[in-house]
Amino acid sequence: MISTKFNETTLTVGDTVRVHTNVTEGTKTRVQIFEGIIIRFSGRGENQTFIVRRISTGGAGVERTWPVNSRTLVKIEVKKSARRVRRSKLYYLRNLTGKLATTV
């Protein structure tokens, strides 16, 4: 399995995570939470990124990409760790619907 560390938290492909990011709107800043499954890590060192996918309202899939070393990342909580992941890229989740698309 592909994994990386973020502030003493080990992240692996297939984990269900909550990503807390700083969002600036005009002069105000707030923390926005994005919850989903990590489907990919790519790059090495300073250039490493990861993609988190979730199913939004209406059944549409939403994916967001963040650099691991981004200043906007506040923290990453692992809600559920992956059990049976045997692939490094979980692109097959894009073709699934319902509960199958959210469990790994």
Banded model confidence at residue 30, pLDDT cuts 50, 70, 90: very high
- Looking at the 3D structure of the chain, how many domains does it have? 1
pLDDT tens for each residue of 42-73 = 988 888 899 999 988 887 889 999 998 888 99
Query: Can you give the residue range of the structural domain that contains 16?
Result: 3-93
Residue 103 maps to a domain: no
φ and ψ at 91, to 5 degrees? -65, -20
What distances in angstroms separate CA 41 from CA 68, 87, 91, one per listed residue? 9, 11, 12
The single residue listed with the structure tokens 């692939």 is: 87
pTM of the model: 0.84
- Start-to-end CA span in the chain (Å): 13
| CATH number of the domain enclosing 7 | 2.30.30.790
